[in-house]
Structure 1
């Protein structure tokens, strides 16, 4: 008896070579920057941060241009108006309806349209200081504002309380107004211009001074490196915030003083980081090959060393930008920043602190803008760090 074959004859059939499916490339080859972009877009916090930064830049550039108000225009009759309010409606004997809202912080009534536009301040009768009351006439209908207790109440002639009809968003001043009746939204957007300008200056300073200063020190080395880094250490011994304050006291307050102060010292951390990268990369074989072929110091730095350090440079840059924005906001907060009537997030925060309990919305918007901007740049820096690191590739 012949033993049964261990392998079935059908398994010895020749494969079908008419199809090229086996030769298809399952995953297309990507360049380094294509792979970086793919990993960056897969990072949702970084993508959201990019979108927020783009929207912020566009709003800061075009927002004040299309706004019907300017950042310095004052209207004391419409001061301290909130962005959201409860509306009331009063009808007289002729059938006319008057829609208004009560600002419970300054005990004023403001007429508002059906669409939510603030039309003006309603004038009432003389205030009774002792009884803490004020009367208002709406045709044949009388309303009494009683602010003897908190919250203030609106009373009809028969003593019953006038009930609000609902909440309404302020469509004239979307973010409300400040203590001088200026539109908070347009001042917020103008403050974004100041902060983004400071961020742009910090970027240029880090690029043109910090990168090349650290690159030259790290590549040349020796006594040149020692002298250049001692200068960096001397600047670093003084705290950055104190140095900026001292420099701005000498130059007086203003936007130009902030730019000069930040531009003169903000490149130190970038120079140190680039120097460390260059010290590591200059020992590589491709640098020795370029030097053997007669490439000069400038060409080796700009064509070989700095491009290979672009990953850490971009990450450090995105981390330093929110620091520059915070420094400008802090300087403006303590009175050493931009001068009135110019607006920045720091000055808006400083002005709002004085009326924080009565008008918290004036503090919320600039504080939220500073926080969201710093979060956006930090998330973007984290995303770039992960995307530029080849070891993070799955």
Structure 2
């Protein structure tokens, strides 16, 4: 083995600088600053939060800015898709007339110079045996074979689509009554956010305090209070809605009242479990020794320390409440016509799914994206509020 040469310089004392021991490598953050920092680093959670903010803004201000409302009917423009193929018909004076033929409804619409869909053009002649229709487009006749989708002029020239064009009047198309789908989507967002607000308030003011009181008092009081929760949770929510509808005869009011009456039981169970653990801590015994009352201990000491699980549970229960309202409206127990919710839009679109799939796509996408957004935000809050994740 080779010997390691040790020089006197290796034994020189380290250079000491005043205040070096007090230098902190990383800035000191409070608990909530650390939560905000870790939540902002979660891309999925921030995308979910951004979507929820945009949804709230669209639901509040969208109907005021948008030119259509959810109840106006225009049967002449029923079942018009958001994008459609256009055809050009040369005129004798050298100009060109454009039109769109809806193969599902077999209606033909003129396209204006600005590209906007114009009036409905009625057929001048129909041959049901040959499944052909003849339309007058300007000074030319157009024959349409509905069985083959073939469009020809009177001289036999076959017309080819000149490309697809976006519907500038109804960006998301119209339904079977000619109502604007986007306007009904925005109004449906209001319904869903109203349900989310009710679920939040109910869970926070009833579920949190009911579960907190049951967990803190314990004993026979806890037993009786939790047996009430178990009885309520065993009855299906659909049955609550039906029973309330018998009294109120209003679908949306029945759903709101049902959610407000029984939707807090899951939150109560979770808060009770947290309080049962926290009430054994020394700071609770110290507060009790100093004469603090039960409401003060519950509000000032216990619930603030359980705020993490409460917020996570809240964000997880909101999408469930939105889905419940959509399901109730889908089966006819929600909002009543002409009001619109995502559930009623889905229910109406199922009947015409094969012919007009876009009518089902938009409300189903809205429900799915909203539930994904709240779940992503809930997962991000769960990780950000976990004190064991602090660095």
Q: What TM-score does the superposition give when structure 1 sets the normalisation length?
A: 0.94
2:4, 2:95 → 1: CA distance? Answer: 104
Aligned to 1:153: 150
Structure 1 unaligned residues grouped into runs of 5+: none
Q: What are the Cα deviations for residues 223-270 of structure 1, in whole angstroms up to 9, with x where unaligned?
A: 221211111111112123333333334432322211111100000111
TM-aligned CA deviation for residue 206 of structure 1: 0.5
Q: What are the Cα deviations for residues 42-81 of structure 1, in whole angstroms up to 9, with x where unaligned?
A: 1111110000000001001111111111110111100000
TM-aligned CA deviation for residue 137 of structure 1: 2.0
Q: Return the match for 2:377 from 367, 380, 385.
A: 380
Q: Return the match for 1:204 from 177, 201, 217.
A: 201
TM-aligned CA deviation for residue 10 of structure 1: 3.0
Which structure 2 residues correspond to residues 247-262 of structure 1 after superposition, within 5 A?
Answer: 247-262=244-259
- Is structure 2 residue 368 aligned with structure 1 residue 368? no
Aligned to 1:237: 234
Indicate how the Cα distance of structure 1 residues 374 and 249 shifts in structure 2: closer, same or farther if over 3 A, else same.
farther
TM-aligned CA deviation for residue 17 of structure 1: 4.8
- Is structure 2 residue 341 aligned with structure 1 residue 331? no
2:33, 2:56 → 1: CA distance? Answer: 26
1:278, 1:19 → 2: CA distance? Answer: 48
Which structure 2 residues correspond to residues 30-179 of structure 1 after superposition, within 5 A?
Answer: 30-113=29-112, 115-147=114-146, 149-150=147-148, 152-179=149-176
**Count of matched residue pairs:** 389
Aligned to 2:25: 26
Q: Return the match for 1:188 from 169, 179, 185.
A: 185
1:18, 1:315 → 2: CA distance? Answer: 47
Indicate how the Cα distance of structure 1 residues 292 and 23 shifts in structure 2: closer, same or farther if over 3 A, else same.
closer
Of residues 71-80 and 4-13 in structure 1, the stretch that sits farther from structure 2 once superposed is 4-13
2:8, 2:144 → 1: CA distance? Answer: 102
2:113, 2:33 → 1: CA distance? Answer: 53
Indicate how the Cα distance of structure 1 residues 276 and 92 shifts in structure 2: closer, same or farther if over 3 A, else same.
same
Kindly indicate whether the alpha-carbon contact (under 8 Å) linking 2:329 and 2:341 is maintained by their aligned counterparts in 1. Answer: yes
Which structure 2 residues correspond to residues 226-375 of structure 1 after superposition, within 5 A?
Answer: 226-375=223-372
2:50, 2:4 → 1: CA distance? Answer: 67
2:184, 2:108 → 1: CA distance? Answer: 25
1:318, 1:378 → 2: CA distance? Answer: 7
Of residues 360-369 and 156-165 in structure 1, the stretch that sits farther from structure 2 once superposed is 156-165
DSSP 3-state at the match of 1:313 = helix
1:287, 1:178 → 2: CA distance? Answer: 60
2:280, 2:299 → 1: CA distance? Answer: 16
Kindly indicate whether the alpha-carbon contact (under 8 Å) linking 1:91 and 1:138 is maintained by their aligned counterparts in 2. Answer: no
TM-aligned CA deviation for residue 126 of structure 1: 2.7
Q: What are the Cα deviations for residues 24-53 of structure 1, in whole angstroms up to 9, with x where unaligned?
A: 432111111111111111111111000000
Q: What are the Cα deviations for residues 126-167 of structure 1, in whole angstroms up to 9, with x where unaligned?
A: 3222222221223332211111x24x2211122232001111
1:331, 1:18 → 2: CA distance? Answer: 71
TM-aligned CA deviation for residue 306 of structure 1: 0.4
TM-aligned CA deviation for residue 347 of structure 1: 0.5
Kindly indicate whether the alpha-carbon contact (under 8 Å) linking 1:249 and 1:336 is maintained by their aligned counterparts in 2. Answer: no
Structure 2 unaligned residues grouped into runs of 5+: none
DSSP 3-state at the match of 2:376 = helix
Q: What are the Cα deviations for residues 185-213 of structure 1, in whole angstroms up to 9, with x where unaligned?
A: 01001000000000100000001111111
DSSP 3-state at the match of 2:171 = coil
